[in-house]
Amino acid sequence: MPGEFLSAIILLLLVVDPFGNVPVVNTMLTGVPVARRRKIIVRECGIAFVLLAAFMLFGPEILAVMHLSETSLSIAGGVILFMIAIRMVFAHPEGAFGLEPRGEPFIVPLAIPLISGPSALATVMLLASRQPRELGMLSGALVVTMSITTLVLLVGERLQRWMGDRGMQAVARLMGLILTAIAVEMLLGGIRMFVEGMKA
């Protein structure tokens, strides 16, 4: 159980990517007073948490309504994760989603898709559908993940000054490499389920 809990936290941290989001968030909030900046970050992380929790808790129902199988979600999630991981490895100046700052963010683009993007939403749904009896553990992992994300983004400006742009890029690329392996594993898992379903 502790191993699964830690694995879930690591996976969620990789898809939410707080360290990779720091430079983008800092750019978006340039010129915003420090007190206001903190409120915005807490608010956007809160919105992202609610959205991710909804997809985690009601993932199977959402899949049923949209007539999607775990196999298709696994393959689609793997493809999306792989695409985002590639952008993380080959660092883009505007972040993994190619976002540009356009005034004070509200829900879009900070909460969605920067924090709770397609890969994060697909991942929490997949985790919930694969481990329906472990929703309590997964919810706890999500709480820890979003707490870490909020903390990292709150100290993001100081973190970027301390590590420098190259240091932040190195961390983002390392997370991208790990995420690439997870994406391939998710994709292969979906293909494996598809092949087994064809044989049955």
38-47, 59-68, 73-82, 177-186: which is most confident: 38-47
The per-residue pLDDT for range 3-41, each reduced to its tens digit, is: 889 999 999 998 898 987 888 788 778 778 888 999 999
User: Does 93 score more than 60 pLDDT?
Assistant: no
The per-residue pLDDT for range 147-158, each reduced to its tens digit, is: 999 999 999 888
Tell me what percent of the residues of the chain surpass a pLDDT of 90.
26
Mean pLDDT in residue range 40-66:
90
Mean pLDDT computed over every residue of the chain: 82
User: Does 189 score more than 90 pLDDT?
Assistant: no
The Cα–Cα gap between 124 and 126 comes to 5
User: Does 1 score more than 60 pLDDT?
Assistant: no
Sign of CA dihedral 21, 185, 12, 81: positive
Q: Write down the pLDDT at residue 91.
A: 62
User: Does 183 score more than 80 pLDDT?
Assistant: no
State the pTM of this model.
0.76
Mean pLDDT in residue range 106-111:
80
Show me where the domains of the chain are located. Answer: 2-199
| DSSP letter for each residue of 28-82 | HTTTS-HHHHHHHHHHHHHHHHHHHHHHHHTHHHHHHHTT--HHHHHHHHHHHHH
User: Does 100 score more than 70 pLDDT?
Assistant: no
